[in-house]
C-alpha cells in the first residue's frame, strides 16, 4: 500500500506492539530511480515518560502493556554497594519541533537540488513519536535515606536510594500515528547520570518501606511492585535506525531509511518532567528514492 504523507497525531488506544509485529518494510527499486539524501539534525520535546501501563491508565496514547522491574541488590555487610535494575516496557512520548525551532536540514547531499531537504522537513515537522524501552542500569555509590511522612493512619517511613547511574537501553519506536506510522525502528543507548530510586507499589505512586519489597526472594516482595526513579537526571547517547512502514511518499520522494545519532536528556522529579528534557538527533541522514 502506497501512502501520501500527511501530518498525523497520536490516536488514543492504538497499540505500538501490534504495529511492530505487523510492520513490513518496502525497499522499492527501479531501473529509472535515483537516490537522494538529506543530512539533518532535529530536536524532539519529551512529553511524557514512565511505565507503559501507568501512562495508559492516565489516558495517554501508549500501549497498555505491563511494565515491570527486576532488582538485584549487592551488599557488603549491612551496606548496599550497588543496585541493578532491569526495566521492561518504559514508554516515552515525544514530538519533533518544526523547522527553525529544532530542525536543521543543511547542508544537503542530494542530487535533486534540495528536494530531500524539503521532504525531510515535511516528514518530521511536528511529528509525534512513541517508543518502548528495555533497559538494565546499575546504581552505585548508593546513599540510603529514610523518609517519614504523615498519613491518616499515622507516620509512615520508607527508604530512597540515590547514586550514580550507568547502563544500557534498547528501544523500539514508531514515528507518526502508531496505527499507520511513517517509520519504525530501533535505538540503542548508553545511560549515564544520577538518580534517586524508590520501591513503589503497583500504582507507581505508593512508596513501599524498602527495596526488599521490589527484590525477588526478599520478605515483602510483590512482583507487581516497581523500582522507579523519583528523581532522574541522565543523558543517554547512542544511535538509531528506522525504515518506512509500507511505502511512504513525500512529494515525489519515497522514503528508504532514516538513521543517525541520539542524545536523550531527561530531568525529572516525581511524575514531572523538568525543562531541558528532550531528544536530540545529530549527524542524521534521510534517504529517498526519486523518479
Residue 60 has pLDDT above 80, yes or no: yes
Q: What is the mean pLDDT of residues 199-203?
A: 96
Residue 6 has pLDDT above 70, yes or no: no
Q: Which residue has the higher pLDDT, 123 or 207?
A: 207
- 11: pLDDT confidence band, cut at 50, 70 and 90? very low
Return d(Cα 89, Cα 268) in angstroms, integer: 18
Residue 144 has pLDDT above 90, yes or no: yes
* Lowest mean per-residue pLDDT among 8-17, 178-187, 239-248, 265-274: 8-17
Chain segment 82-123, per-residue pLDDT in tens: 999 999 999 999 988 776 666 666 555 544 445 888 888 888
Q: What is the pLDDT of residue 126?
A: 82
User: What does pLDDT average to over the chain?
Assistant: 85
User: What helix, strand, coil percent values describe the chain, rounded to 5?
Assistant: 10, 60, 30
Residue 26 has pLDDT above 60, yes or no: no
Q: What is the pLDDT of residue 196?
A: 98
Total-model pTM: 0.84
Is 159:227 a contact under the CB 8 Å cutoff?
Answer: no
Return d(Cα 104, Cα 91) in angstroms, integer: 27
Cβ neighbors of 151 (< 8 A, separation 6 or more) are none
Burial of 168 per CB tally in 10 Å (0-12, 13-18, 19+): middle
Return d(Cα 147, Cα 209) in angstroms, integer: 10
Longest dimension (CA), the chain: 77
Residue 142 has pLDDT above 90, yes or no: yes
Residue 15 has pLDDT above 50, yes or no: no
Q: What is the pLDDT of residue 101?
A: 66
State which H helix or E strand residue 117 sits in.
helix 115-124
Q: What is the mean pLDDT of residues 131-158?
A: 96
Q: What is the pLDDT of residue 100?
A: 63
Cβ neighbors of 22 (< 8 A, separation 6 or more) are none
Q: Which residues of 31-46 are buried (b: 16+ CB within 10 A; e: fewer)?
A: eeeeebbbbbbbbbeb
Q: What is the pLDDT of residue 35?
A: 83
Chain segment 146-156, per-residue pLDDT in tens: 999 999 999 99
Q: What is the pLDDT of residue 9?
A: 36
Chain segment 157-197, per-residue pLDDT in tens: 999 999 999 999 999 999 998 778 899 999 999 999 999 99
* Lowest mean per-residue pLDDT among 66-70, 94-98, 102-106, 266-270: 102-106
Q: Per the structure block, which three cell numbers stand in for 19?
A: 504495529
Q: How far is CA 50 from the centre of its chain?
A: 9
Q: What is the pLDDT of residue 34?
A: 83
Main-chain dihedrals φ then ψ at residue 121, nearest 5 degrees:
-60, -45
Q: What is the pLDDT of residue 258?
A: 96
Amino acid at each position: 500500500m502506497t501512502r501520501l504523507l500527511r501530518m498525523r497525531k497520536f490516536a488514543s488506544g492504538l497499540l505500538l506492539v501490534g504495529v511492530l509485529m505487523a510492520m513490513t518494510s518496502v525497499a522499492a527499486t527501479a531501473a529509472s530511480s535515483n537516490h537522494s539524501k538529506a543530512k539533518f539534525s532535529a530536536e524532539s520535546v519529551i512529553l511524557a515518560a514512565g511505565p507503559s501501563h501507568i501512562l495508559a491508565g492516565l489516558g495517554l496514547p501508549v500501549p497498555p502493556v505491563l511494565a515491570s522491574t527486576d532488582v538485584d541488590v549487592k551488599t557488603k555487610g549491612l551496606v548496599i554497594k550497588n543496585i541493578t535494575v532491569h526495566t521492561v516496557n518504559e514508554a516515552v512520548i515525544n514530538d519533533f519541533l518544526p523547522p527553525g525551532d529544532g530542525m536543521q536540514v543543511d547542508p544537503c547531499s542530494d542530487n535533486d537540488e534540495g528536494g530531500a531537504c524539503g521532504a525531510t522537513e515535511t516528514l518530521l515537522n511536528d511529528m509525534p513519536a512513541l517508543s518502548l524501552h528495555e533497559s538494565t542500569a546499575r546504581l552505585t555509590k548508593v546513599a540510603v535515606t529514610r523518609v517519614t511522612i504523615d498519613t491518616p493512619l499515622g507516620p509512615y517511613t520508607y527508604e530512597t536510594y540515590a547514586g550514580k547511574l550507568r547502563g544500557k537501553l534498547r528501544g523500539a519506536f514508531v514515528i507518526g500515528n502508531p496505527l499507520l506510522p511513517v517509520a519504525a525502528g530501533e535505538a540503542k543507548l548508553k545511560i549515564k547520570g544520577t538518580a534517586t530510586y524508590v520501591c513503589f507499589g503497583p500504582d507507581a505512586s505508593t512508596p513501599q518501606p524498602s527495596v526488599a519489597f521490589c527484590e525477588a526472594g526478599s520478605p515483602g516482595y510483590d512482583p507487581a511492585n516497581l523500582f522507579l526513579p523519583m528523581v532522574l537526571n541522565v543523558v543517554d547517547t547512542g544511535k538509531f535506525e528506522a525504515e518506512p512502514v509500507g511505502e511512504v511518499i513525500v512529494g515525489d520522494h519515497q522514503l528508504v531509511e532514516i538513521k543517525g545519532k541520539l542524545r536523550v536528556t531527561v530531568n525529572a522529579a516525581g511524575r514531572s518532567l523538568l525543562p531541558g528534557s528532550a531528544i536530540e538527533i545529530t549527524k542524521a541522514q534521510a534517504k529517498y528514492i526519486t523518479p
